[in-house]
Amino acid sequence: MKTLFRLACLLLVLSLAACGQDNKPQFKNTDLTGLDYAKDFALTDHNGKPRTLADFKGKAVVMFFGYTQCPDVCPTTMAEMATVMKQLGPDADRVQVLFVTIDPERDTQALLASYVPAFDPRFLGLYGDKAATDKVAKEFKVFYQKVPGKTPDSYTMDHTAGSYVFDPQGRIRLFLRHGQGAEPVVHDLKLLLQ
């Protein structure tokens, strides 16, 4: 009889534990909830306005680090995010995509102002001087490095290819892998916007 009672108690505990797991969102991307870095930034947008994460409170924020002369990862990521915005429909107005340049030497305010909104007019390009860029990259643990080209101006940049996502309360929640297509991103953003 005691064994049967213990078994019943064990089953009850296991079923309650399983119920608690149902409340946790099932993201398709890497869940970073509770991360102790990637908390904020201080940069300038392509319109010349100083920006921090607090400016986007109430919106899910997707933050990508790249550069305008990138031959592959950056334009495909931005095009993918434009597709995500289309698939989100009216919810897209509750999402802010930020493109943070890791090439402040070449990515001027004017260049960012023409490049970034070409993918979606709601997207913002962010920039800072070298010190500000280094600081935000360190805060977000983003790798970037100049790779010399044939001429001093023809260099490329090696860099982290994923994006960070913040929930509407400004908390870091996800890391999006590059090149996965729009569907998993749309899925996860909809969960965050609920």
φ, ψ at 22 (rounded to 5°) = -65, -25
Angle (nearest 5°) at CA 132 between 171 and 158: 85
Measured over the CA atoms of residue 78, residue 84, residue 86 and residue 89, the dihedral's sign is: negative
72 near 65, Cβ under 8 Å? no
Q: Tell me if 46 is assigned to a ligand binding site.
A: no
Q: Tell me if 74 is assigned to a ligand binding site.
A: yes
* DSSP one-letter code for 177: P
Buried b (16+ CB within 10 A) or exposed e, 2-22: eeeeeeeeeeeeeeeeeeeee
CB atoms within 10 A of CB 142: 20
Which segments are annotated as binding site for Cu cation? Answer: 70, 74, 159
Which segments are annotated as binding site? Answer: 70, 74, 159
